[in-house]
Amino acid sequence: MDATTIAVDLAKHVFELATTDRSGRVLERRRLNRAQFARFLIGHPPTHVVMEACATAHHWGRVAQDAGHRVSLLPPQYVRPFVRRQKTDRTDVAGLLDAQRSDHLHPVPVKTVGQQEVLALHRVRQQWIATRTARINALHGLLGEYGVCVRPTVRRIGPVVGAVLADAEALLPGRLRRALQALLEEIAALTARITGLDHELKDLAADDATMTRLQTIPGVGVLTATAMVGAVAHIHAFRRARRFASWLGVTPREHSSGNRRRLGGITKQGDTYLRTLLTQGARAVLFGARRAVLGGRALPALQAWAVSLAERRGVHRAVMALANRLARIVWAVWSRDVAFAPRTQAA
């Protein structure tokens, strides 16, 4: 059988496969379970395996690569327009076969186990932060019903609520006191877990040369550096810095036609978590630079440009413009394996 391409519609238990030849003619179709699919990849002669870059795709991509196959993971949002008629496993596979013939679709590199470990740590950290925020808001709202006003922050909620619960004269029912004490203990436990995970990420960044170099960039700390290395499987997949910034969604949205070019706000495409980290880092750099100006201290060229832009166009536009520039600096530092060297401001 002259099989050149195998398209796979991934699922939890049942996998739909279609094998094609060089002309694109379907030679064979199969429906396999997990164990059968693993044996199929190992026993089949090396060929081109096409899958969507969805859940479990990187795991099966590594399995296929270990078996000698060439793997292409296509972005699901770009494969969907190739799916004709109604949505079934067979039409999904047909859409994959049509999409992989397009020269405009760039496959997603397969992530390593280490990269997915870093991303998993970030996901767990975000889940704990969201849970802690929900508990803090619950304490804030419940105590407000009894005349106790507490600022819903991590630093203030513990001491203030602890003092209120220890006060026997506070107008709090006994059963509610026990429930609020349990909430307070849960917040403290979540804070300890988040702190421990931050230490693990810090140790991980200290042992990685790329993460260490990325932290030389203003606004890029441990969280941003580790998340970048975990999410970007291969930095050289982006040929230019602008493509990397566009992938992060910090470049202007364009709606142009003919000789008229219209640029709007940022596209907001790509990974929302990475874009949030980069934007918050840019905001911290800008605010630090503005405080330095008030203190009469000299600024490097990057910070001076951001402050000047904020004065002319506003803080929010300056933050996003700085995030765009930081994304390009990340690409340059990462792809060239050099540390960031800030330039002094021109006279």
What is the predicted pLDDT for the residue at 254? Answer: 84
Query: For residue range 111-161, what is the model confidence (pLDDT) as tens digits?
Result: 999 999 999 999 999 999 999 999 999 998 888 888 888 888 888 888 888
| pLDDT value of residue 2 | 65
The percent of residues above 90 in pLDDT, for the chain, comes to 65
**With helix as H, strand as E and coil as C, how does the chain read?**
CCCCEEEEECCCCCEEEEEECCCCCEEEEEEECHHHHHHHHHHCCCCEEEEECCCCHHHHHHHHHHCCCEEEEECHHHHHHHCCCCCCHHHHHHHHHHHHCCCCCCCECCCCHHHHHHHHHHHHHHHHHHHHHHHHHHHHHHHHCCCCCCCCCHHHHHHHHHHHHHCCCCCCCHHHHHHHHHHHHHHHHHHHHHHHHHHHHHHHHHCCHHHHHHCCCCCCCHHHHHHHHHHCCCHHHCCCHHHHHHHHCCCEEECCECCECCEEEECCCCCHHHHHHHHHHHHHHHHHHHHHHHCCCCCEHHHHHHHHHHHHHCHHHHHHHHHHHHHHHHHHHHHHCCCCCCCECCC
- Stretches where the chain sits below pLDDT 70 are 1-2, 345-347
Give the model confidence (pLDDT) of 92-101 as tens digits: 999 999 999 8
